[in-house]
Amino acid sequence: METGAAADSPAVDFLVVGAGVAGLRAAVELAGHGDVLVVTKESLGESNTHYAQGGIAVAAEDGADVGLHLEDTVRAGDGLVYPPAAQVLVSQGSLRVAELIEWGTNFDEATDSEGRRLNGRFLRTREGAHSLERILHANGDATGAEISRALVAHARRQPRIRFAEWTQVTRLVTAERRVMGAELAGAGPAGAGSGQPVAAPLRMRARAVLVASGGAGQVYAETTNPAVATGDGIALAAEAGAELADMEFYQFHPTALALEGAPRFLLSEALRGEGAYLRNGRGERFMERYHPQLELAPRDVVARAIAREGAVEGEARPVYLDMRHVKNVDLHRRFPGISAFLARHGLDLACDLIPVRPAAHYLMGGIRTDLSGRTSIAGLYAAGEAACTGVHGANRLASNSLLEGLVFGARAAQAMLADALPLIHTESEMPQEAKPLSAAEEQHLEATIVRLRSAMWTHAGLLREESSLREGLARQAECDAALAGLAMGAKRGRRLSEAQALSRVAEAILKSAVARTESRGAHFRSDYPRRDDQNFGRHSVLGANREVIFERW
């Protein structure tokens, strides 16, 4: 990093916000051409990538599967996938996965019936809505953690990549009609989870800024996402004036553990890929009533089926994942992480019915970009779950997310290099020093976050309708006003910033869901239960004016 004149803030060539698969892949690409600063608000590797269990979908090396992978992706997206984006994903995926292997990622190898390795061939499995087996795994059910480990190690070997851990981006700085940097504030682990203020922000200039900060699952009371997934990057981009797209499409994973006293732990789709059944409270296998692919139907179909089968006298109850009949797979070896977690709660995949319910899992929408990560604002790029290229349409195909991060992270970096934007020298006023929240204000903040997340789960969850969505908007506005009151007087802290991001994301989801008066993919309106291609075979776009329009891409 360089330091200019006294009036100038420090600078770096490229600033990457987020250290998941998209951010790290981009950083590696950029490192051969300039100094890169990767900013992550917790420790390196703590991201949605790390917690991804199921695997990474990639067409077989002989290329015969590329067309089928494209067809499966488009079909799962329920009429809204942008075909050029999906073509890029499936055609460039094998190259990006080959790079991962070269950099030290250890995917599970195939074995024969006696457990002997088959000459370095990788084990490929099948998940929901895939037409054949193309999912690569690592350590059974810890694929994301292995990919994250390898990428972090490879990135650390690049001398021009630096890392700012436990550091938060508090604002994107704009000048001359482009993003020219960001305000950063550091907070050590001791204060990371509290409402205490971060240190006085530092303005960091950059030739280009990439937002790869992941999703926003914490906007819902029930989610599989880790605590860091608060939509910060999406909110920062929107605040800077960038367009958002397809925000109404939030994917609810069908099978999160539904056990009192336990977290909403993700139970991978790979379990159903290995033959798990879903049974209701009466012990009936019910998916035949909803889709010909049964338990391997698209996620939106399975999630709504579970919600309906679990509704008893107005109360939401779990259904059960049943693997007791699966005899040809060593379940504890195939799913070591899941097995160990269940064992801590007295459950065994091979012997017990496992209670499950849907939970918020993945945002198909995000910051609107082209196929190279460019947003509607010069100097600002986005990739991964924070971005929306249209590649997932209305419903993401299982295990396409890690692949998306790799492919579009690399493409965004290539666009940042091709655009070759210069550093902007500015004498702009430096940010104010933050003031602490009082103990009473911290309690009020946490209560406001709980109210917001509860309102989103109640009013913008799996099943939606106009009156409920508008009630959700009213509750969001109340929470937003409360947060604005807490922020008065230059008060700032990580938790307050996260709450403001969640509120901005909640507003975008609610407004987009109100505007789309049809049902499609992950967006189901009980008052408009049919798909309407004539009026809504288009993408929703939320502009700087916070109003929704629909466009064909």
Cite the active site residues.
Answer: 299
Q: Which residues, 6 or more positions from 116, have their beta carbon under 8 angstroms from its beta carbon?
A: none
Nearest to 108 by CA among 141, 133, 69: 141
- Tell me, what DSSP letter sits at residue 441? H
Instruction: Give whole-number Cα distances, 553 to 84, 369, 391, 488, 534, in Å.
Output: 10, 11, 11, 40, 15
- Tell me, what DSSP letter sits at residue 223? B
Burial of 451 (0-12, 13-18, 19+ CB in 10 A): middle
Q: Which residues, 6 or more positions from 365, have their beta carbon under 8 angstroms from its beta carbon?
A: 244, 245, 246, 247, 248, 249, 250, 388, 508, 512, 540
Backbone φ/ψ region at 139: left (φ over 0), alpha (ψ -120 to 50), beta: left
d(CA 227, CA 238): 21
Structure tokens at 391: 């590649």
Structure tokens at 165: 């851990």
Burial call 103-137: b when 16+ CB within 10 Å, e when fewer: eebebbeeeeeeeeeeeeebbbbbbbbbeeebbbb
CA 93 to chain centre: 18
d(CA 459, CA 470): 8
How long, in residues, is the chain?
553
d(CA 83, CA 27): 27
- Which amino acid, one-letter code, is at 474? A
Structure tokens at 215: 């999703």
Radius of gyration of the chain (CA): 23
Name the helix (H) or strand (E) containing 402.
helix 401-419
Nearest to 73 by CA among 505, 401, 493: 401
